[in-house]
Amino acid sequence: MAIVQYPSQVPKPLISVSRTQAQTFQLVQPLRGPGYVKRLNNDAPVTYDLTWRMTRDQAAQFQTWFYSMSASGLAMGRNQFQLEIDTEFGKLLHTLQLTPDTFSQTQEAHNVFSYQATAIARKVPIPQWWFDHEDLVNSEFFAQRSLFDLVMNQQLPEA
């Protein structure tokens, strides 16, 4: 199965990408004694619900990429593709596979075309930096960094 690049001329899915992830543990309640946590597995695939909105020309390019059997095409969803998705760790490159029978055109109105699909990634790629700098990530400064950034850029721009 080939991994193809997402075409640069086609708009990315909308920002409202929703994500669900399989559980990796469960709480076991024995007949006697306290409950305990049981690890199920390390593999926790992630499911994304994707929505695209585009113009007629962009929709034609998107459909051509989706149905194309060439080396750079999605082969009707059989090939995997790489897409940058905004996560809590920043924009990260994911390798996605569309799930069967989920790709559909949902709306066509005033030259705006909408498509929906569900894609699966093997895992959320967490950069190693977050684990290497755990003390910084758990610090009070890091918890308030967006507020600090706001103050520095809007209230003290000369600093």
pLDDT-derived band of residue 17, with 50, 70 and 90 as boundaries?
Answer: low
Q: What is the pLDDT of residue 82?
A: 92
Looking at residue 129, what is its pLDDT? 83
Question: Distance from CA of residue 140 to its chain's centroid?
Answer: 28
CB neighbours of 58 closer than 8 A, spacing ≥ 6?
9, 10, 11, 113
Q: pLDDT, tens digit, for every residue of 96-114?
A: 998 888 888 777 888 899 9
Query: What gap in Å lies between CA 84 and CA 13, rounded to an integer?
Result: 10
Q: Residue 152 above 70 pLDDT?
A: no
Domain ranges for the chain, please list them.
3-126, 127-159
**What token pair was written down for 31?**
């007949």
For residues 20-43, give the mean pLDDT. Answer: 79
Q: Poorest-confidence range of 29-38, 85-94, 130-139?
A: 130-139
Q: What is the mean pLDDT of the chain?
A: 82
Provide long-range contacts, Cβ within 8 A and 24+ apart, for 62-68.
62/7, 62/10, 62/115, 65/7, 65/10, 66/103
